[in-house]
Structure 1
């Protein structure tokens, strides 16, 4: 550096920048400066003027050439406002106090392994290429608000923002005004605070809009308040210490699921509710949610009969499945464990897989007859476990009559899967004793058979077997002997009907045996149940 006039060979603008640096003042609206001059000023800074703190602060400047600060160590903050870069800056391996880019225009940014002691801010910028922060370590907050990022990868719209394997000591503020045309990649990144995507636009319709596999967040994943995503949001195996909040978010995917979150662990709520809209399926199997999974006032728009919501092998304290309109696709909750399952008939899906679902309570409280239609909507046909689980929930809360109604419906559905002999036998059990869940039917049937027999034998008594010593004939006792297999009052052996009466007696004997057998089967089922 030469005297107080700046380095030799520098332009007038660059000398003024040099002087402003020494005074710690803004250098603004002065046209172009070379990237090499900026680099020289940062790596070999001049002495500060007396009583001043030297800082590089540029506003309204065009930086020509490539700013190469790879592996550079800059103690202070690099502040660039409303600047235009001719080439992609390179900050690979650099160590800065902080990076502040506001309202700038860049063809891209390479900052692999960047370290900042404080914040990294890229707000209000237009970046016409990828931002690569792979392995970066941000000591404070990463700001990306009001920026427009455009990727250029192998396919149009890829590699817009790469923040793989990075560490962020504060929040990622990437909400209001952010639009990313391409993939936002946060895989294997650790964020001590929250990730805020409120009112952001993530646009990659041909692929994945957000890749956040194995993302670790200490606070919330805040996507509420109007997040718009075109392309898949992929949160597989992420860990969120707070809540995953998607209220009023709009997710659209033409290829693949709109939201995929297999294996995610959430410390609070998983809210896809209050105006949430997904145009495409949601797959969140094997998730662990400490509080509630909520689809209240949500909409999942898929073609009729195709997968809509898949939540298999998951665990949560509550699942609120009350969308603002019935889901036309298939909802799969197989082998999910819940404390509370919330849903009403007017919001039930057109098809649901409930095999293996375990819950303690159903809300709102409804009679069994209003809940049974949902169990009949399994696209794979009859499975007994959902009926057993529903009956167990009713019994747990003291609604034994509803529990018996559910188990009776289970047997009737099962009958449709049997061969014709089994269907006949099953139908007879239903007609006579309601499979043991309607035991009073056996009493009424026995009374009807007895009464019919008594009337018939009173009108047409049978002949005595031994006319020489005929006993006194009792129509009621004779009927009891015929109908009840294990009862013998001696009347059946003493009298023998003839002709048509013989056939009538045979029918009574058969009905008595069938009724007694089915009654015994029903009683056995009741004893096993109790």
Structure 2
């Protein structure tokens, strides 16, 4: 069956003469260009498995339902398209460099780019509003998927066989997008030599399903917020991905992850996340040379305040060194037990043991070495004790 694009336009303009089912064509070849721009037809338009050699133009058109399942065409231009119910493009095959240009659509139902949908060029739905779901399961997008500033009322499914590659900026670009429900990448495949997923400043109202093994490329996560714990990736997966799969250091993804685990009561994981964040800051953050040195000292001594017990380990090491210096010097005159007490006295803050009978031969080089080293060890011991108290107090305050 052949039908001209002009004939379809005429019928939709005269939509009042159509029945409740609107216009339905199956397997038709559309000759000439199908240009339905600015057509207002509150009836369904159904073009199942139809073929056209020219781009389909739907800009600023209005339909109650638009069903283009199995469409074969170079491209679809649908800027400002309004559909009361669903927009269906399941199984469509589009071959143009800009396969879909659909900025600022208003869809009252859901958008289906699934079930064998294939676009060799870019697909752009940026700035659109979709009341239901955006379903891309089983869809193949070779020129990137642009979903910037999109608003979806239910969920976005880039999952279960969805494959996205190419794209000028990233394979999937969702900067500033808001989804009231879930964002699901489970069993999808997203590939780019640069950024595969751009999720910057995106808001997910419910769970995020993001297994990092489905991403072949970098992931931009700065400003991404979600409810609850992220799914399909363990804490270890996130601790590996954030410092190695993101293009630069950003505080917010670490803070979001820590807050999610804190809300779930996973305090051990929160400390692991915070310590890993500090390591990433030292490695990739904008720190001065001395700032980087001080950051390293804090990390080694108290785990940046999240592992104050490390300071006690260092304090124990200082005491052991003090005992070793005193016992091996030969310059301290008293019994072995009293020498150990003397070493603890000179190095341990606040705690004192009886070693009154010990004397140091300060006239010898060994005695002078003992005095100098114990002074230094005492300073270190006080420093580690103070770091422990400060770190422990800060940890208690954060957990209060």
TM-score of the two chains, using structure 1 as the length reference: 0.63
Separation of aligned partners in 2, 1:492 and 1:337: 66
Shift of 1:270: 0.9
CA distance in 2, matches of 1:405, 1:525: 15
> Which residue of structure 2 aligns with residue 310 of structure 1?
198
- Contact kept in structure 1, 2:308 and 2:388, CA below 8 Å: yes
Structure with the higher fraction of residues in helix conformation: 2
* Contact residue 109 and residue 129 of structure 1 kept, 8 A: no
Secondary structure, aligned partner of 2:187? coil
The equivalent position to 1:132 in structure 2, one of 9, 32, 35, is 35
Q: Confirm or deny: 8 A CA contact 2:4 2:34 kept in the other structure.
A: no
Partner of 2:319: 450
Structure 2 match to 1:234: 124
What is the match of residue 354 of structure 1? none
Equivalent positions of 1:244-255 (< 5 A) are 244-253=134-143
Deviations, residues 443-476 of structure 1 (Å, cap 9, x unaligned) = 3443444355346546735479xxxxxxxx9535
Q: What is the CA RMSD across the aligned residues, in angstroms?
A: 3.3
Equivalent residue, structure 1, for 2:222:
334
Does the 8 A contact of 1:165 with 1:189 survive in 2? yes
Alpha-carbon distance in 2 for matches of 1:236, 1:426: 42
- 1:439 partnered with 2:312: no
Which runs of no fewer than 5 residues in structure 2 stay unpaired? none
Q: Which residue of 2 aligns with 1:146?
A: 49
Deviation at 1:481, TM superposition (A): 4.2
In 1, Cα distance between the equivalents of 2:81 and 2:226? 30
Alignment of 1:115-514 (within 5 A): 115-117=14-16, 118=18, 119-151=22-54, 160-168=55-63, 170-176=64-70, 178-181=71-74, 183-204=75-96, 206=97, 208-253=98-143, 258-280=144-166, 281-303=171-193, 306-316=194-204, 317-322=206-211, 325-339=213-227, 360-363=228-231, 366=234, 368-369=235-236, 371-416=238-283, 425-454=294-323, 456-457=325-326, 460-462=330-332, 474-476=338-340, 478-484=342-348, 497=362, 498-514=364-380
Q: Is the 8 A contact 1:190 1:217 kept in 2?
A: yes
Residue 224 of structure 1 aligns to a residue in which SS?
coil
Q: 1:267 to 1:525 in 2, by over 3 A?
A: same
Give the structure-2-normalised TM-score: 0.82
Counterparts in 2 of 1:133 and 1:286: CA distance versus 1, 3 Å: same
Aligned to 2:181, the other structure's residue is in SS state: strand
Q: CA deviation at 1:271?
A: 0.8
The 2-side partners of 1:494 and 1:422 are apart by 43
User: More relative contact order in 1 or in 2 (CA 8 Å, sep 6+)?
Assistant: 2
Determine the structure 2 residue equivalent to 1:114. 13
CA separation of 1:329 and 1:172: change in aligned 2, threshold 3 A:
same
In structure 2, the CA distance between the partners of 1:301 and 1:388, relative to structure 1 (3 Å rule), is closer
Q: What is the distance in 2 between the residues matched to 1:512 and 1:414?
A: 32
